[in-house]
Structure 1
Amino acid sequence: MIAMQYSFTLPADYDMGIIDRRIAEKGHLLDNYPHLRFKAYLSARRTDATRSRDNLYAPFYLWDDVEGLNNFLGGDGFAGVSGAFGRPQVKSWFVWQAFVSPDVSQAAFATREIAPVDASIPLGERRKQESGRVLRDGEDNGILASVAGFEPATWTVVRFRLWAAEQPEQADEATRIYRVGHMSLPK
Structure 2
Amino acid sequence: MHAMQYEITLPADYDMEIIRERVATRGHLLDDFPGLGLKAYLVRERGDTSPVNQYAPLYLWSAPEGMTSFLRGPGFQGVVDDFGRPEVRDWTGLSYREGPAPEARPCTAVRRRERIGDDVRPAAAMEAAMEENHRLADTPGAVATALALDPRHWELLHFSLWEHEPPRMPGDRYEVLHVSAPERGRLGRGRQR
Question: How do 1:86-101 and structure 2 match up within 5 A?
Answer: 86-101=84-99
Q: Percent sequence identity over matched residues?
A: 38
1:106 aligns to what SS in structure 2?
coil
**Contact map agreement 2:147 2:157 (CA 8 A) in 1:** yes
Query: Structure 1, residues 27-85: CA drift from partner, whole Å, max 9, x if none?
Result: 0000021111100000000136xx11000000000001211110000100000011111
The Cα shift of 1:166 comes to 1.7
Cα gap change, 1:54 to 1:104, in 2 (>3 Å)? farther
What is the aligned partner in structure 2 of residue 76 from structure 1?
A: 74
* 5+ residue gaps, structure 1: none
Q: Which residue matches 1:8?
A: 8
C-alpha separation between the residues in 1 aligned to 2:8 and 2:85?
9
Secondary structure of 2:29's aligned partner: helix
- C-alpha root-mean-square deviation of aligned residues, in Å? 1.7
4+ long deviations beyond 4 Å = none
Of stretches 147-156 and 24-33 in structure 1, the one that deviates more from structure 2 is 147-156
Give, in whole Å, the separation in 2 of the partners of 1:91 and 1:169: 26
| 1:39–1:55 distance in 2 versus 1, CA, 3 Å | same
Secondary structure of the structure 2 residue equivalent to 1:84: helix
Length, aligned pairs only: 182
AA aligned to 2:128 is Q
Instruction: Provide the secondary structure at the position in 1 that maps to 2:165.
Output: coil
Q: CA deviation at 1:161?
A: 0.7
Give 1:23's aligned residue.
23
Q: Secondary structure at the match of 1:88?
A: coil
Please say if 1:181 is aligned against 2:170.
no
Query: Are the equivalent residues in 2 in contact too, given 1:104–1:145 (CA < 8 A)?
Result: no
TM-score by length of 1: 0.91
